[in-house]
Amino acid sequence: MATVYRTRALADPDTEYFFLFKNDAGGREAFQGISNIDYKVYPGTRFEAAAKFITSKTEFDEIRLTSLPELASEISQNNPNQVVYEFHTSTMGIIENEMKRLTVDSLKWIQTPSRWLTQAITRRLDQDGAVKCITVPNLVDRNTFNKDVESARLDLGENAVPLLWIGRFDKGKNFNDFLRVAALLPASFVPVAVLSLESQPERISRALLEARAYGLADRLRVFLNLSQRQLAAIYTWARDQGGVLVSTSLSESFGYSIAEALACGLPAAAYRVGGVPEVADCGTAEELVAVGDTQGLAASVLKLAGAPVAAV
């Protein structure tokens, strides 16, 4: 969510943004140097009390929440026509659970970043609630992610082709399928995993064991918790080396890594899930394949990299 908030503030420098976080996932550096952002972190039980107090004592043009539906409902009762509830998860179980606890009548809007997610939510609402659902695509910070970014200086070896994957080692990001795709490709393709705020060492250990099982332990490169600028430099480096971004997510409400990679000129091969087909410039629909089709995903990688597809 830090990326979502950061890009909004950058795109609207005349508006002051105040962010209140319950969990500190280590993304504070995303807000450094942005003059129209202020933020605080209130962990645990202190968060809800702080949110209620701040919204009752401070005049805001708009109040947005991305979790805690009961809190959103209570604040919206005290701030009529001001509260927007945002869904960014693509996990239907979480969405259905939050919808049951959300007082939709008192909200201004329910907002999502993709038409796919908006439709999924409207199907779970009556007609009055459905008209409050709107789609506002997430923004990409084009100052940070663009084709002119100076590329990183990395050396994977002669004639190596980077096979880039972004995410955490959780079930939804589906790192296993990335390993399956890498194992299907020629040895010149080097799997590179960039972990986004991964904080569970046991998941990292398990992923490295899985890489060993696929015979990729010696080839796999892992980068931890890069800044936005470092990530952009990785994208342009991979592009300059003829590489490809591979997304194996089982579901995506938007597809930030794909959008940012494309903005940097790095082609992407991905599963056709959620809001991914709606990503701007992701019109290469032939490179989006069905979930689980690792053979098809490997073929897409070869096509984008200009290698013979028959090699899969």
Q: Which of the four pLDDT bands, split at 50, 70 and 90, describes residue 281?
A: low
pLDDT at 284 over 70: no
221-225, 230-234, 298-302, range with the lowest pLDDT: 221-225
Q: What is the pLDDT of residue 240?
A: 95
pLDDT digits (tens, 9 = 90+) for 130-174: 999 999 999 999 999 999 999 999 999 888 999 999 998 888 999
The residue ranking higher by pLDDT, 27 or 156, is: 156
Q: What is the pLDDT of residue 285?
A: 43
Q: What is the pLDDT of residue 235?
A: 97
Q: What is the pLDDT of residue 283?
A: 42
**Residue ranges covered by each domain of the chain:** 42-135, 161-311
Stretch 83-100: mean pLDDT = 94
pLDDT at 68 over 50: yes
Q: Which of the four pLDDT bands, split at 50, 70 and 90, describes residue 197?
A: low
Report the mean per-residue pLDDT for the chain: 91
pLDDT digits (tens, 9 = 90+) for 108-137: 999 999 999 999 999 999 999 999 999 999
Stretch 234-256: mean pLDDT = 95
Q: What is the DSSP string of the chain?
A: -HHHHHHHHHH-TTS-EEEEESS--S-GGGGTT-TTEEEEE--TTHHHHHHHHHHHHS--S-EEESS-HHHHHHHHHHSTTTEEEE-----HHHHHHHHHT--GGG-SEEEESSHHHHHHHHTTS-HHHHTTEEE-PPP--TTTSSTTSPPP-----TT-EEEEEEE-SSTTTTHHHHHHHHHHS-TTEEEEEEESS---HHHHHHHHHHHHHTT-TTT-EEEES--HHHHHHHHHHHHHTT-EEEE--S--SS-HHHHHHHHTT--EEEE--TTGGGSTT---GGGEE-TT-HHHHHHHHHHHHT--GGG-
In the chain, what percentage of residues exceed pLDDT 70? 94
Stretch 14-21: mean pLDDT = 95
CATH code at 161-311? 3.40.50.2000
In the chain, what percentage of residues exceed pLDDT 90? 79
